[in-house]
Amino acid sequence: MAGGAPRIFVSHLSGVPVFDPAGDQVGRVRDLVAMLRVGGRPPRLLGLVVEVVSRRRIFLPMTRVTGVESGQVITTGVVNMRRFEQRPTERLVLGELLDRRVTLVATGEEVTVLDVAIQQLPARRDWEIDKIFVRKGKGGALRRRGETLTVEWSAVTGFSLEEEGQGAENLVATFEQMRPADVANVLHHLTPKRRAEVANALDDDRLADVMEELPEDEQVEILGKLKEERAADVLEAMDPDDAADLLSELPEDDKERLLTLMQPDDAADVRRLLSYEENTAGGLMTTEPIVLRPDATVADALARVRQSDLSPALAAQVYVCRPPDETPTGKYLGTVHFQRLLRDPPFTLVSSIADTGLPPLRPDASLPAVTSYLAAYNMVAVPVVDESGSLLGAVTVDDVLDHLLPEDWRETDFHSEEAVRGH
């Protein structure tokens, strides 16, 4: 790639797969690491932050990169699996440079960085940032679309300064095709300041999905930097059990204030969950399983299961209950598993095929009891009922795993497997 090496804009590298020479995928690009230099010299690109299969982020030096083309990165095959740790002299290109407000040297006009271009130096393996794609005009979500232009790195100034109120629109655009868990992993490695800026740029539903995948201390940090009205909106968009877990980490006054700002129905679900002990079926359950009346048909059930916002665990079964349909329901009658729905004609009543042999759990059932139930009956969710037999909610296997894994599992997942591969 020496000589007339092509210029590559970094936004096109976000999420690009990384392969070794044998064609095996190592991971995906999540960011680029650069080192700013004095005297207006273009920053040197040190390497890539690559997320491997275990979601661990590692550092891949540019000296190990043999090709960046056709939507993929090719390495020499030698990859150090040590976790990436950003040094004080390093800057994350996607995480810290995009959306930044900088100044054109020639005119003194402020512009917003939309993208950054990198290029390999002739006859060397070194890479550097050589161009900046910017937009004129004021920043902010409501700004008018101004003129865009590509300029040399030396034509702008302001990257070395700490910026308050940096936008995040262009960084957020690189997240569009990423799963919430992957976006959460990116946010986890940003500075608290940048994490708050990105959170402000995400819409409520997307932010809610991402926060559910973050460690609780970072959820509390982000929630505390949102305006209270928006914090309440995000809590409403979260699954009730996740919202309850988050609120339980807050001081009592803050928790009550946010609950008061939430819609009454949403707040009622969360308050009910907060009334249970944390490591019990009641504390673990979601209050929004799929509930159908006895006269509903298989066609009705499949229509509910198809809803895209349902998790796979919740979509794996429906619960047949007498009205009312929302928890707490009327009397719980049984469970219909997804496989059974696929085997019976669409006009079949769900009450006629409900599995009535599996006993539901009480809300005070312990975490070991819930775990044993799921393992014994090979289930991915278990119904929870009160003394009168009304369905209160369902505990899904992903919620159980969240409480069984160590608190730092996001940092250590698959660590042992990686250690074995490293040897």
Tell me what pLDDT residue 144 has: 52
Q: Which residues contact 2 (CB under 8 A, 6 or more apart)?
A: 120, 121, 122, 123, 124
| Full-model pTM | 0.67
The pLDDT confidence band at residue 21, using thresholds 50, 70 and 90, is: confident
Contact predicate 128/121, CB 8 Å: yes
Q: Which two tokens stand for residue 72?
A: 């993929």
- How confident is the model over 283-309, as a mean pLDDT? 94
The confidence band for 160, taking pLDDT boundaries of 50, 70 and 90, is: confident
State percent of the chain over pLDDT 90. Answer: 60
pLDDT at 7 over 80: yes
Burial of 177 (0-12, 13-18, 19+ CB in 10 A): exposed
Least confident residue range of 105-109, 187-191, 196-200: 187-191
Position 178 scores a pLDDT of 83
The set of long-range contacts for 137-146, using a CB threshold of 8 Å and a minimum separation of 24, is 137/111, 137/112, 139/99, 139/101, 139/112, 139/167, 140/167, 141/169, 141/201
Q: Are strands 148-152 and 127-136 parallel, antiparallel or unpaired?
A: antiparallel
- Per-residue confidence at 1, pLDDT binned at 50, 70, 90? very low
And the tokens for 272?
């009910």
Q: Convert the pLDDT of each residue in 371-406 to its tens digit.
A: 999 999 999 999 999 999 999 999 999 889 888 877
Q: Which residue has better confidence, 390 or 265?
A: 390
Q: Please, what is the end-to-end C-alpha distance for the chain in angstroms?
A: 32
